[in-house]
Structure 1
């Protein structure tokens, strides 16, 4: 069986065709365009405030808006919010976001176009992080309880032509799923499928699916697995994509682009939401840019297919390579960039002026008087005439990889391949090149390269994240080299390269912040708090810190975080070390200082240099 059957063709861009779903007057799936959406941060009981924010999202280009719906009171007020919006000329579909409360879902489904439920807590309630032993009979009994709660909602949705999103979050898998499958992609997929099978039995098909995680690697591999598992059970429901708790600013955008971009590149995704710890309208242009950039891949130059049995689309498997100096094997991916930068200093930079005739290791260059200590950068035509040296870089494209090249490169143990591309579908072409190298058992390290013929700016960052990120998520690449005509600000390209590697979780050069976008459940000033936490901890390289607005996903989404700062009441914060509660209900004013104390107590604090 082909390892690439999760999408139509990994060598040719094509949208994966899903079933059509109607959300009010909006059509999703099938051949319909990818839909952009966002979520309010207001209290859903506050009609005027919520209406104004929804209008702002629609005015920014959003096509669907979701609202937190904690309880029956909020669910009932959706009718007033929708009425007010319609009177003001806004007719885009509205979505209720439900956790823990099936009764609230039943009410919401009578008033608005779509209800999102979380299979991790729709029936099972809050996570206890307890492991249970299940027999086949006891597991079946729990599924019957799920059916008992879900079927009434399905009946109401049928009567009111309301759609459902089954939205699985990595951080809120039920204890039942965790006990049987653990914190795994298969567990996340099965959490979705349990509810889908009930819907199918009840002949309810107006469904959208999502599987989200703050870890872009987990999110990508799990969504791919969901697509495959649906195909095996003769299902093809539309997919909502997002990297949850992506954060804010540059890091939040790059992390989202790496995760969402990887799936869009394979034709997967019918609607997307970029979850930023910012005002919700800021998410819309980022999502739009990701879609527009992906659609440029249509009708790209043909890519020579290759045996893909060595490809692992559902888990991270690093390509095997040998080490040449500090490149390849178990070394973290290197960055080749511009030496004229401050904080984000590359490992190597390019010499030889505009001709880029050599690459210099910055560490070597700093320590010697002769600034001409360089490693040659050459073309495939020069491969057999390479002089004897400890390290050389060979730049070529996939189309130049043939039998003659394979024969020559196997005898060159000092050569690092710089994998170039001129294909608009660079992800597919460079992935094919890696698969070809693996099929040929060529183990030279590979630096992934692409040049942007434009001024490198914030929009270029998204493009680079879409182009490079998917390869590193799948274990391809021993280095990154983003080339450009010029950059809009000094050091932006280097900063982008390091951020892409961190978003793909292959190299950490700064703290990793997991922060949610906020919603009506948020219990403190999320944006200002996140900024304050970053300001005081930005020097703690590699430390993972989660800043979460409430307990819905908080403890679970911190599965691989070192420290968590989670809203537990109005103006109250609970601190976690990994998944364990350390201090409860701290006043918000003291909570950041208490977080710093906790980091110091556990020996993870370092003074700023």
Structure 2
């Protein structure tokens, strides 16, 4: 059994050691800390101070600033002084890439320094595959140590914390050459720095591993926790889905990734990265935390054998196909008392049937009433059951039926854990009946309910469970419910119903209007279902986070954009006003364009 969380059948916080960041205590039993990041030029004191105040006034408890060089690092002293003068004492964080000297300066002036193992010493990625011997690999680690130890000494003297922040998009060529673009490589990148800190007896550390792909982010953070536990380390975790995007999609993708880990009990601080003004990230983060906190003290869930559970890699739960549900089919979407051209089925509550796109009706039967129903007269039947009713007779029933789809429901306040236990129970008994995940929300369905549904259902699809999704709610706005289901499936990487946009929130390194540009790119490409398009502010994480993107739009200078096809640079330094047209032309050149219907 893996030990990445306390107990997968009972919600409980993973215990980490306490660290101090200014006046904020993080880890252990302290509340989860919410933070954000400025988008201003850190050399502009007044502008940066104003934005930090806006973030804090919105409820942010910690604020990070991009710190490209020594000039920005020195100006942190003035920013901090101005904030304190105005009564703002929340901790500040310097975001460092490529520049250890800037980190050394920043550590003198503010409470925390974020360094990226992928480029703290190694510089920008060249995507070169280098054949390292053990000796040459260790030589590079010695160079890391020489650069890192001076920073650790400064942090010790000034009581400054460090975040070791690994990004999927900026692994070093050393790590890439030995481990590839894998969760194991991301974890080792973090652990290399962590072991040096441990040797130097520096423990005021927070860790993060982020990716724009929520599934990779979840599996990698779980693996990091497991690896730390094996090496007797228990440092606090910072969670986030980087480059999550904007609007509904950005919020749902963040809730799926962050919510899955918080549901595991993992996470001591979070940031929701949206391509919007940073203060808009704070209420979303609080909604996620507040909802996850309601899971504490849930009803007991019967434990099952977890030998067949795969928390560190995606393995789809194997089922037989019944019509278009299960097997190798993408998960279906079931609406409620409403049918649109987008949903695959619609549940008609009054007559307890589910209607398919071709208008055929299929019965919905409660398992408790299954003895009274003749299943032989139907080519497809939905049987509604909760884990608590899955006794031996239920297992035998499902094994005997070849025209049944399970409608898996739950009344437990932690439906995620209970439904996961149900899937493991079915798997352990070799039941291959397709399963649609059902969740009822009684309240008004709104943006907050979208967050709740993402936290409840997203983790199951991240883990490979589920052949369909059915969110039941009586709201008149059924289109919002259906859009939410499709967005949860896309955020979980199991069904793509629209383009997949990877867009960063922007920072002081961004040299063009990122928010406006992202909106324009979406307007031009919104009909290109399944295409992956990245809109990135700069080259720090841009090329790497676009690893599985089809096309990339990346800032390369003031008002300049470089276009990528997959990982290859196609057009450099295009004027920003021409770049979207050039992006469309590039998509057409490669045969991926279709005209809007």
CA distance in 1, matches of 2:338, 2:512: 40
Match of 1:368 in 2: none
Q: Aligned to 1:109, what secondary structure does the other structure show?
A: helix
CA distance in 2, matches of 1:485, 1:111: 54
Contact 2:553/2:563 (<8 A) preserved: yes
* Partner residue of 2:561 out of 573, 592, 595: 573
User: Does residue 1:562 correspond to 2:550, yes or no?
Assistant: yes
For residue 398 of structure 1, report the CA deviation from its aligned partner.
0.3
For residue 339 of structure 1, report the CA deviation from its aligned partner.
6.5
Q: How does 1:115-514 map to 2 (within 5 A)?
A: 115-338=113-336, 340=338, 345-353=342-350, 357-362=352-357, 364-365=358-359, 373-384=360-371, 385-388=373-376, 389-487=378-476, 489-514=477-502
Q: Aligned to 2:452, what secondary structure does the other structure show?
A: helix
For residue 352 of structure 1, report the CA deviation from its aligned partner.
4.4
Q: How does 1:65-80 map to 2 (within 5 A)?
A: 65-80=63-78
Q: Aligned to 2:208, what secondary structure does the other structure show?
A: strand
Contact 2:336/2:349 (<8 A) preserved: no
> Structure 2 regions of 5+ residues with no counterpart?
none
Match of 1:532 in 2: 520
TM-score w.r.t. length of structure 2:
0.99
CA distance in 2, matches of 1:350, 1:193: 49
For residue 490 of structure 1, report the CA deviation from its aligned partner.
4.2
Closer, same or farther: CA 357–340 of 1 in aligned 2, 3 Å: closer
CA distance in 2, matches of 1:338, 1:13: 30
For residue 485 of structure 1, report the CA deviation from its aligned partner.
3.0
Instruction: Output one character per residue of 1:275-304: Cα deviation in whole Å (capped at 9) or x when no partner.
Output: 000000000000000000000011100001
Instruction: Output one character per residue of 1:199-229: Cα deviation in whole Å (capped at 9) or x when no partner.
Output: 0000000000000000000000000000000
Match of 2:21 in 1: 23
Contact 1:339/1:345 (<8 A) preserved: no
Instruction: Output one character per residue of 1:286-323: Cα deviation in whole Å (capped at 9) or x when no partner.
Output: 00000000000111000010000100000000001000
User: Does residue 1:596 correspond to 2:584, yes or no?
Assistant: yes
For residue 482 of structure 1, report the CA deviation from its aligned partner.
0.3
Contact 2:335/2:478 (<8 A) preserved: no
Contact 2:336/2:472 (<8 A) preserved: no
Contact 1:518/1:549 (<8 A) preserved: yes
> Structure 1 regions of 5+ residues with no counterpart?
366-372
For residue 341 of structure 1, report the CA deviation from its aligned partner.
5.9
Q: Aligned to 2:502, what secondary structure does the other structure show?
A: strand
CA distance in 2, matches of 1:164, 1:381: 56
CA distance in 2, matches of 1:21, 1:414: 55
TM-score w.r.t. length of structure 1:
0.97
Runs of 4+ in 1 over 2 A off after TM superposition: 338-342, 381-387
Structural RMSD (CA): 0.9
CA distance in 2, matches of 1:29, 1:341: 46
**How many aligned residue pairs are there?**
595
Q: Aligned to 1:110, what secondary structure does the other structure show?
A: helix
Match of 2:108 in 1: 110
Q: Aligned to 2:442, what secondary structure does the other structure show?
A: strand
CA distance in 1, matches of 2:315, 2:12: 25
